[in-house]
């Protein structure tokens, strides 16, 4: 048995399962402050004899094993979680090896092994929801360097009709500041689910996401792009992405059939939690890559 935590800004999804991605039990726990959330996490996992646990966490986080603050959540604005020693506290609570990465890298790994990118050695997983983040598998391994990717904070050109200032507390009008769920709500005065019939909302969203995808394609050249998160439940966004992306690329690189190349998660909402099981498996020396 392996344990998995998909740690989000609003909830923790905790699950127990096997190395094939089969989930035996799961639970959702509100993300409040560590002193309230972590004891509930510990209580759930103590019912099982797990060999290892994988954590796919909201960030930014320190993923450098050589760092003095490895395993910490770092500069998050989430109250109570800034500089929290996540890995160390879970090890202390459960006494098992811990695999640690971002929630989007975990989802990318899950999709590469069992989902929409199964059989491929590269893919890009992007979540568009409360925030925007992306994880990448490159040559069968999760992309990581100086830190983990923070692709949600790239700069994009403004839509000609967009006069909204932007929501990101760090960069104002970066991709996340213009296209994440809170930006949609603040710009248009209603949540996305209430704006389904407003074509101008989703045309603008597709315009911004297509710009981001062009940059990711030119830099990473992924073999599959997977778009998840709450905003992407509005499937009409895909049609605008398919329309704008070829215009932006303008024939500079050859794009595959976009409806097969840019897709929804094959694992649905389970990409992150199944990927976290794979992070756990990787600590035992038997996985952790998409090879």
Q: Which of 6, 9, 37 is nearest to 180 (CA)?
A: 9
* pLDDT reported for residue 288: 44
Question: What's the rounded Cα separation, in Å, for the pair 284 and 263?
Answer: 32
φ, ψ for residue 27, nearest 5 deg: -150, 150
Q: Which of 159, 100, 119 is nearest to 266 (CA)?
A: 119
Question: What's the rounded Cα separation, in Å, for the pair 262 and 259?
Answer: 6
DSSP annotation of 21: S
* pLDDT reported for residue 290: 47
φ, ψ for residue 244, nearest 5 deg: -80, -35
Q: Which of 282, 286, 278 is nearest to 109 (CA)?
A: 278
Q: How many CB atoms lie within 10 A of CB 69?
A: 13
Cα atoms in the Cβ-side hemisphere of radius 13 Å centred on 274:
20
Question: What's the rounded Cα separation, in Å, for the pair 70 and 68?
Answer: 6
In sequence order, the 6+-apart residues with CB closer than 8 A to the CB of 133 are: 59, 102, 103, 104, 126, 127, 150, 151, 152
Tokens standing for 32?
């409040």
Q: Which domains does the chain have, with CATH numbers?
A: 2-105+269-282 (3.30.420.40), 117-264 (3.30.420.40)
Yes or no: say if 274 and 110 are a contact pair by the CB < 8 Å rule: yes
Burial of 27 per CB tally in 10 Å (0-12, 13-18, 19+): middle
Question: What's the rounded Cα separation, in Å, for the pair 235 and 246?
Answer: 19
Q: Please list the pLDDT of the chain residue by residue as tens digits (291 residues).
A: 999 999 998 899 999 999 999 999 999 999 999 999 999 999 999 999 999 999 999 989 999 999 999 999 998 878 999 999 999 999 999 999 999 999 999 999 999 999 999 999 999 999 999 899 999 999 999 998 777 888 999 999 999 999 999 999 889 999 999 999 999 999 999 999 999 999 999 999 999 999 999 999 999 999 999 999 999 999 999 999 999 999 999 999 999 999 999 999 999 999 999 999 999 999 997 444 443
Question: What's the rounded Cα separation, in Å, for the pair 185 and 158?
Answer: 17
């Amino acid at each position: 048995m392996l344990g998995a935590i998909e740690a989000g800004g609003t909830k923790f999804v905790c699950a127990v399962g096997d190395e094939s991605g089969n989930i035996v039990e799961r639970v959702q726990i509100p993300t409040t402050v560590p002193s309230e959330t972590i004891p509930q996490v510990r209580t759930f996992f103590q019912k099982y004899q797990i060999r290892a646990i994988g954590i796919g966490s909201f960030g930014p986080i320190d993923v450098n094993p050589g760092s003095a603050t490895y395993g910490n959540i770092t500069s998050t604005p989430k109250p109570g979680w800034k500089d929290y020693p996540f890995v160390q506290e879970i090890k202390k609570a459960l006494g098992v090896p811990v695999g640690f990465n971002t929630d989007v890298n975990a989802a990318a790994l899950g999709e590469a092994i069992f989902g929409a990118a199964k059989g491929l050695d590269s893919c890009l997983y992007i979540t568009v929801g409360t925030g925007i983040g992306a994880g990448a598998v490159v040559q069968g391994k999760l992309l990581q360097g100086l830190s983990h990717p923070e692709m949600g904070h790239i700069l994009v050109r403004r839509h000609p009709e967009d006069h909204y200032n932007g929501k990101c507390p760090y960069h104002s009008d970066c991709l996340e500041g213009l296209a994440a769920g809170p930006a949609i709500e603040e710009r248009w005065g209603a949540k996305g689910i209430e704006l389904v019939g407003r074509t101008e909302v989703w045309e603008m969203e597709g315009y911004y996401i297509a710009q981001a995808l062009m940059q990711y394609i030119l830099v990473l050249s992924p073999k599959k792009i997977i778009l998840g998160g709450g905003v992407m439940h509005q499937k009409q966004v895909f049609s605008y992405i398919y329309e704008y992306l070829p215009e932006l690329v303008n024939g500079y690189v050859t794009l595959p059939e976009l409806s097969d190349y840019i897709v929804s998660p094959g694992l649905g909402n389970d990409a992150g939690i199944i990927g976290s099981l794979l992070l756990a498996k990787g600590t035992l020396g038997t996985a952790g890559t998409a090879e």
